[in-house]
């Protein structure tokens, strides 16, 4: 029997993972929580001209058609929310090797929002689909995030609020989702309305964009990182900068934090001992971040 090379082994592991992801994280019926809309929007992250030829990573090509041609944006509206009133908009960005359907199931995003009773809807643009890529597509362009929101709310039945500036925004993302969030904070067109940012083991780079936002705006920021996620050094550097600039923050070196801990400072940095994929839902972290916000 011919011995497989490392590239062939990697490919087999990848497709086994993707197959199991579909098996273990199927589409779930969310009607008991509210309405889940699947929109195809022109201002979603993809398709984008920068990935027309796909992307090569570690000698493997991730094609445009399979990974960068999905314009889906999922929108969840909980049944307790009145579209006639002002509400928050949570925009969540998934990381590598994932897609919007797998993350809402794997990390119980809809259930956690519902349990938080936050007066908000959840918007999830499809990123690089099942690919090792942090690129934010069209949402890295100046003003494009605002256009995405305009297009999204135009599809919400019953909503009398149409101006994107009328809402407060929460940006949340896991792992590779950090990059598009950083560009949105700087160039998205709604920076003044972004009131909270949650990073789940994702501060890999673009630290300067996050620190600029923290220094020039009064938004709430929670960064939870793990020892092995590849972001510890960036998180430590962020804390050094905050200390130098005399910007108050709290550093929690434990997973046993309380809701009062989350409310204690505008900037909360949590050093977790959990795994990379455990920091979102294993202890209902997303729910707790939402219910301790303003």
Tens digits of residue pLDDT in 212-271:
999 999 999 999 999 876 789 999 999 999 999 999 999 999 999 999 999 999 999 999
Q: Is pLDDT above 70 for 11?
A: no
Task: Give pLDDT tens digits for 92-102.
Answer: 999 999 999 99
Task: Give pLDDT tens digits for 121-152.
Answer: 999 999 999 999 999 999 999 999 999 999 99
When pLDDT is cut at 50, 70 and 90, the band that residue 105 belongs to is very high
For range 94-120, the mean pLDDT: 97
For range 23-48, the mean pLDDT: 81
Q: Is pLDDT above 90 for 276?
A: yes
233 versus 15: the higher-pLDDT residue is: 233
Q: Is pLDDT above 80 for 198?
A: yes
Domains of the chain, earliest start first:
33-291 (3.40.50.1820)
Q: Is pLDDT above 90 for 2?
A: no
What pLDDT sits at residue 294?
78
Encode burial over 139-175: b for 16+ CB neighbours within 10 A, e otherwise: bbbeebbbbbbebbbeebeebeeeebeebbbbbbbbb
Task: Give pLDDT tens digits for 66-88.
Answer: 999 999 999 999 999 987 777 99
What pLDDT sits at residue 19?
39
Q: Is pLDDT above 60 for 24?
A: no
**52 in Cβ contact with 64 (< 8 Å):** yes
277 versus 17: the higher-pLDDT residue is: 277
Return mean pLDDT, the chain.
90
For range 24-43, the mean pLDDT: 79
């Amino acid at each position: 029997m011919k011995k497989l090379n490392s590239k062939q082994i990697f490919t087999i592991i990848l497709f086994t993972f993707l197959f199991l992801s579909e098996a273990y994280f199927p589409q779930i019926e969310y009607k008991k929580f509210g309405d889940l809309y699947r929109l195809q929007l022109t201002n979603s992250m993809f398709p984008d001209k920068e990935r027309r030829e796909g992307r090569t990573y570690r000698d493997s090509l991730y094609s445009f058609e399979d990974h960068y041609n999905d314009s889906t944006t999922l929108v969840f509206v909980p049944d307790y929310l009145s579209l006639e009133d002002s509400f928050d908009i949570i925009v969540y960005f998934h990381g590598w090797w994932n897609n919007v359907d797998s993350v809402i199931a794997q990390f119980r995003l809809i259930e956690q929002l519902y349990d938080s009773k936050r007066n908000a809807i959840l918007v999830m643009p499809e990123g690089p689909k099942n690919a090792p890529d942090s690129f934010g597509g069209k949402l890295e362009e100046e003003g494009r995030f605002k256009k995405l929101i305009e297009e999204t709310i135009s599809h919400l039945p019953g909503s009398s609020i149409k101006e994107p500036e009328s809402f407060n925004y929460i940006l949340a993302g896991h792992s590779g989702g950090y990059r598009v969030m950083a560009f949105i904070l700087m160039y998205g067109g709604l920076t003044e309305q972004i009131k909270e940012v949650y990073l789940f083991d994702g501060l890999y780079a673009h630290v300067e964009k996050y620190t600029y936002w923290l220094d020039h705006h009064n938004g709430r920021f929670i960064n939870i990182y793990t020892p092995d996620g590849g972001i510890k050094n960036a998180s430590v550097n962020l804390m050094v900068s905050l200390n130098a600039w005399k910007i108050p923050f709290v550093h929690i070196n434990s997973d046993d934090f309380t809701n009062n801990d989350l409310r204690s400072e505008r900037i909360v940095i949590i050093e977790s001992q959990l795994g990379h994929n455990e920091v979102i839902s294993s202890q209902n972290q997303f729910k707790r971040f939402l219910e301790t916000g303003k």
